[in-house]
Structure 1
């Protein structure tokens, strides 16, 4: 489906797994957690139960590492029938701290693309997750100079985007969102008559996956990498 980008004035970027590596660290943490609790259940079952716990806790904790750590602690207590040791709880907390202290690893061509687009477009970041953690990553990324606005939202649904665009006085028809999640960065924008570009990351959280029916007849493009944006804009 052909998409017209001639009216675009503002380009929004997701942060995690669009500008820098993130989901890989969660997969590594899940593996460490499952190994840590493997005396109580199979690793595959622990993975499944942890995912269920995360989903249950999303309305309470939101997205991000801190909520993930709380879900791991709760899962450890549940799966061990409240017999898990203090040392194991500490090990879980250490997994979380290690995630928070990970270096900001930019994805390929990020700064090149931002520097080029900033000459002709207003650039903003729209990301979800823990505010303190996202602020830290943005600061360490060295990319702040390219963005006119940074927004950390509790979720990425149509209402969140509509409210933000209205607040920033951006017409949806003049806005393009770029991100790795069809569920969070593409479909909500298409549904409010904005534009969206999907740039897949090699791993996606199950909660962010969508069905073929959900994307059928939706007007958006999928690119192999950020650098391909420069051929469209």
Structure 2
């Protein structure tokens, strides 16, 4: 899952980014509101973590812009936003929530609570009430980072796990190779052109060749 982190404090941003990556998220970090607006206008994200006290353009202005122009994720649904701020006043929370934020955390906060809220926001944005993603005898648990088939734990490399999670989240919809690469690497350079195929092959070897269908020249789909 791809997260846009908008935070001007490098130490806080680094701590959040490390924790998110450890939990299997891909993170793109920007330090000001204008860069965030650029990123949101050009790329699809599953979640935005937004500081309010930003240089150039503050978080409230960015949030107002995002909700005003109807920012959506790759599934065409509204991008969930969690505000992260040192502003403790109730009126700040009310303003953020009224402008369309989905949740609000006051610094300092517990990283594991942030991870749980992030997973919950993404789950709700995809219309799921339960954490696990299931198809037949296959169960993927994003929170526990586990994969089971016939109730047996399956070891899947981290990036292949992310590819499978994306395809299960978007079940019934074709996901292009470019979209999968964006989720895995974001703005990072250096990804080999065949890396997505490698991860698809790893999934098929462990879970069967009929789980993921290739749409030649377009991408991949897990059927309903």
Give TM-score, length-normalised by structure 2: 0.30
The structure with more helix, counted as a fraction of residues: 1
Q: Which has the higher contact order (CA 8 A, sep 6+)?
A: 1
The alignment's TM-score, normalised by the length of structure 1, stands at: 0.29
Greater C-alpha Rg: 1
